[in-house]
């Protein structure tokens, strides 16, 4: 594990330009944005996107591409936003200029060593694990373990987080974070100021808006950390000299440790005030107070998940019973991290079933309903379904996948789910031509829908570099019928060990 700010500027640039950094969610292996990023980078040659424009991109809607992941099968949606590659690469070039990178690193170090401990400094993998898996391991080590240790010092824990953190962030606060509020205000019209340049890139990609940054990339996670680090600094200034409290922050998640409700609530007000200054507010419904730090340090779904995993197959010897147990857990803790990991573990174990069972329709129905209630589990559930349905006779496969498709189609506004439905139905061994309104799915099928608005670009070479067909790096029809666990699991090892 290595912290991002410990990299050189050239190493950071290489990291940001990885396909897995541009979009840090799971995608089928035949989709990658890295070829486009590489070609755009070759055209820009370290320069700013402005040298290639004939109009201002902030005057165009849909410069970035947005698609939706449904969180609960109903009305809770997570918008993913793929930054326009030309603006993304230009922003990477800007941030990773040697002097700029040194300045950012120095500023981030100033945010450290206060009452607030940041546990979400972006990290990268130095072994076989994905960068996302490494970040999760960092969370376990930095947040959960330290929280448990604090039970020796504190009796009260108050847990809260920010509502719509990325969507509400005030972009001008980037300059405040990098240069201090006074200097940023004095030089708000200075287009040469680094913070203003970063702000300008983000506004250019989002129709000139000053509220909100894109969600879904390592680069935007890094910029969010700059602003949240500035908020940490403001909280630290307010609490200078305090020894009776500690605050742990992981991105927009805060844990306040104290020895009384009154003290914890007083600190919560300070946190709320400083966040509000940069456009954010705390989620009242998610604010939880606990008078036992050990109990409050581990999320309820994780504790229940540990109990669930320890049961193994002793109380559920058949696949159907194991699926029903997962289904019951999903009803109690929908879309939880624990559910995703349990489903991932089951995906690995279900491959031991080698013959079509008499209750195959039932197993498929239960597995599908787990994903219907908790759409965030669908990549792993898709793997489970791909194995179960592969056991059916050829003539039955189309019938079963059609039923799965019809049920999951009732989940509203879920382009991310469509991408994974295509992955499991498109292989030739299944024999279904997957039709979808999701543009990324259409690109996989050979069409050329627009992902990013590029009418503001003058350069033919840059437009050519943005050819969306490049994101398909293999034939979806040639993909393995059965999704392998390593295609969708964050950890190759048991995630509960961390």
Only one residue has tokens 């409290």, namely 245
What is the C-alpha to C-alpha distance for residues 455 and 76, in angstroms, rounded to an integer? 33
Name the pTM for this structure. Answer: 0.91
Q: What are phi and psi of 420, to 5 degrees?
A: -80, -30
Q: What is the pLDDT of residue 486?
A: 77
SS (H, E, C) the chain: CEEHHHCCHHHHHHHHCCHHHHCCCCCCCCECCHHHHHHHHHHHCCCCHHHHECCCHHHCCCCCEEEEEECCCCCCEEEEEECCHHHHHHHHHHHCCHHHHHHHHHHHHHCCCCCEEECCCCEECCCCCCHHHHHHHHHHHHHHHHHHHHHHCCCEEEEEEECCHHHHCECCHHHHHHHCHHHHHHCCCCCCCHHHHHHHHHHHHCCCCCECCCCCCHHHHHHHHHHHHHHHHHHHHHCCCCCCCEEEEECCEEEEEECCHHHHHHHHHHHHHHHHCCCCCECHHHCEEECCHHHHHCCHHHHHHHHHHHHCCCCCCCHHHHHHHHHHHHHHCCCCHHHHHHHHHHHHHHCCCCCCCCCHHHHHHHHHHHHHHCHHHHHHHHHHHHHHHHCCCHHHHHHHHHHHHHHHCCCCCCHHHHHHHHHHHCCCCCCCCCCCCCHHHHHHCCCCCCCCCCCCECCHHHHHHCCHHHHECCCHHHCCCCCCHHHHCCCCCCHHHC
Closest CA relative to residue 215, chosen from 86, 81, 85: 81
CA angle 124/126/129 to nearest 5° reads: 80
Report residue 48 as tokens: 């700013």
Report CA-CA distances (Å) from 248 to 169, 265, 424, 457.
20, 15, 40, 44
Q: What is the pLDDT of residue 128?
A: 44
Question: Are 426 and 29 within 8 A, CB to CB?
Answer: no
What is the C-alpha to C-alpha distance for residues 90 and 85, in angstroms, rounded to an integer? 8
b/e map of 335-353 (b: 16 or more CB within 10 Å)?
Answer: bbbbbbbbbbbbbbebeee
Q: What is the pLDDT of residue 314?
A: 53
What is the C-alpha to C-alpha distance for residues 353 and 469, in angstroms, rounded to an integer? 38
Q: What is the pLDDT of residue 126?
A: 46
Q: What is the pLDDT of residue 276?
A: 96
> How would you write the pLDDT of the chain (498 residues) with one tens digit per residue?
678 888 999 999 999 999 989 998 888 999 999 999 999 999 999 999 999 999 999 999 999 999 877 665 565 667 889 999 999 999 999 999 999 999 999 999 999 889 999 888 766 554 444 555 555 555 666 788 889 999 999 999 999 999 989 999 999 999 999 999 999 999 999 999 999 999 999 999 999 999 999 999 999 999 999 999 999 999 999 999 889 999 999 889 999 999 999 999 999 999 999 999 999 999 887 789 999 898 888 777 777 777 776 665 555 568 899 999 999 999 998 888 888 888 888 888 887 778 888 899 999 999 999 999 988 888 889 999 999 999 999 889 999 999 999 999 888 778 888 999 999 999 999 988 888 999 999 999 999 999 999 999 999 999 999 999 999 999 999 999 998 887 875 433 333 333
Question: Are 480 and 117 within 8 A, CB to CB?
Answer: no
Q: What is the pLDDT of residue 488?
A: 74
> Which residues pair with residue 254 across a beta bridge?
160, 249
> Which residues pair with residue 79 across a beta bridge?
68
Only one residue has tokens 């969180």, namely 71
Q: What is the pLDDT of residue 134?
A: 52
Report residue 234 as tokens: 């403001």
Sheet holding 246-250, edge to edge: 116-118, 246-250, 253-258, 156-161, 288-290
Q: What is the pLDDT of residue 226?
A: 96
> Which residues pair with residue 246 across a beta bridge?
257
């Amino acid at each position: 594990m290595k912290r991002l700010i410990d990299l050189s500027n050239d190493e950071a640039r290489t990291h940001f330009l990885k396909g897995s950094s541009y979009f840090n969610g799971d995608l089928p292996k035949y989709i990658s944005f890295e070829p486009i990023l590489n070609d755009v980078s070759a055209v820009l040659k370290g320069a700013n996107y402005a040298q290639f424009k004939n109009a201002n991109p902030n005057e165009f809607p849909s410069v970035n591409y947005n698609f939706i992941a449904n969180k609960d099968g109903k009305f809770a949606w997570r918008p993913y936003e793929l930054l326009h590659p030309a603006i993304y690469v230009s922003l990477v070039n800007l941030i990773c200029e040697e002097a700029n990178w040194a300045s950012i690193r120095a500023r981030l170090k100033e945010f450290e060593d206060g009452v607030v401990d940041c546990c979400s400094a972006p990290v990268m993998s130095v072994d076989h694990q994905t960068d996302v898996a490494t970040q999760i391991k960092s969370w376990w080590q930095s947040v959960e373990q330290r929280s448990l240790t604090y039970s020796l010092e504190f009796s009260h824990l108050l847990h809260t987080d920010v509502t719509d953190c990325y969507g509400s962030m005030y972009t001008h606060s980037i300059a405040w974070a990098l240069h201090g509020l006074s200097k940023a205000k004095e030089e708000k019209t200075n287009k040469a100021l680094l913070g203003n340049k970063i702000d300008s890139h983000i506004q250019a990609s989002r129709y000139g808006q000053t509220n909100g940054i894109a969600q879904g990339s390592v680069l935007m996670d890094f910029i969010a950390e700059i602003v949240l680090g500035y908020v940490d600094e403001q909280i630290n200034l307010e609490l200078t000299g305090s020894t009776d409290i500690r605050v742990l922050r992981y991105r927009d998640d805060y844990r306040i440790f104290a020895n009384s409700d009154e003290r914890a609530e007083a600190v919560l007000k300070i946190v709320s005030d400083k966040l509000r200054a940069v456009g954010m507010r705390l989620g009242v419904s998610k604010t939880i107070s606990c008078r036992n730090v050990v109990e409050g340090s581990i999320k309820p779904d994780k504790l229940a998940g540990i109990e669930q995993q320890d049961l193994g197959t002793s109380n559920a010897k058949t696949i159907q019973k194991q699926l029903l147990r997962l289904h019951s857990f999903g009803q109690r803790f929908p879309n939880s991290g624990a559910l995703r990991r349990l489903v991932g573990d089951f995906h690995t174990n279900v491959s031991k079933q080698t013959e079509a069972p008499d209750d195959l329709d039932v197993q498929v129905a239960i597995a599908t309903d787990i994903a219907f209630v908790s759409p965030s589990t669908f990549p792993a559930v898709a793997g489970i379904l791909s194995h179960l349905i592969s056991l059916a006779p050829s003539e039955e496969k189309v019938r079963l996948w059609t039923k799965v498709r019809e049920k999951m189609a009732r989940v509203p506004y879920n382009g991310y789910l469509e991408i994974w439905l295509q992955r499991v139905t498109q292989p030739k061994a299944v024999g279904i031509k997957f039709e979808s309104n999701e543009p990324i799915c259409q690109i996989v099928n050979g069409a050329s829908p627009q992902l990013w608005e590029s009418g503001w670009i003058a350069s033919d070479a840059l437009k050519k570099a943005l050819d969306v067909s490049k994101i398909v790096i293999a034939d979806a029809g040639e993909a393995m019928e059965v999704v392998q666990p390593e295609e969708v699991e964050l950890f190759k090892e048991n995630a509960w060990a961390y």
